[in-house]
Amino acid sequence: MADSSHGHGHTPAAWTGVIIVFIGFCVAGAFMVMALPLGFWAGMAIVVLGGVVGGVMRAMGLGAPKAQPLRMTSGAQPARAVTAREPVAAES
């Protein structure tokens, strides 16, 4: 599984968005502990900003490419359903 080819979030858009969101949560958490609501909401605004930045970067082509549907070649048959096997008795 570690060698999957789809990249699962290993893109500049994903990393940038996640880092900005993480900073926003840290800011919000610090201001929540200090009981300063304005700072908390500023941190939440940073969280939203991280999502927007990640989305914009993905739209610019810095995200993972969209998966293309698989096409069957001419003459190919659809895959058959796999049937369950019968259990094998253990020898003693």
> Is 29 contained in some domain?
yes
Asked whether residue 86 is domain-assigned, the answer is no
The pLDDT profile of the chain, 92 residues, written as one tens digit per residue, is 455 555 667 899 999 999 999 999 999 999 999 999 999 999 999 999 999 999 999 999 888 887 777 776 776 666 666 666 666 677 66
Counting the structural domains of the chain, the total is 1
Residue 50: how many CB atoms within 10 A of its CB?
20
Is residue 88 situated within a structural domain? no
- The model scores a pTM over 0.85: no
Q: Does residue 62 sit in helix, strand or coil?
A: helix
Per the structure, the complete domain to which residue 31 belongs is given by: 12-60
| Per-residue H/E/C for 8-51 | CCCCHHHHHHHHHHHHHHHHHHHHHHCCCHHHHHHHHHHHHHHH
Domain membership flag for residue 43: yes
Q: Has residue 32 been placed in a domain? A: yes
Q: Cα(92)–Cα(82) distance, rounded to whole angstroms?
A: 30
Residue at 55 is within a domain: yes
Q: Characterise 36 by phi-psi region: left (phi > 0), alpha (psi -120 to 50), beta (else).
A: beta
Q: What is the pLDDT of residue 68?
A: 74
pLDDT at 16: 95
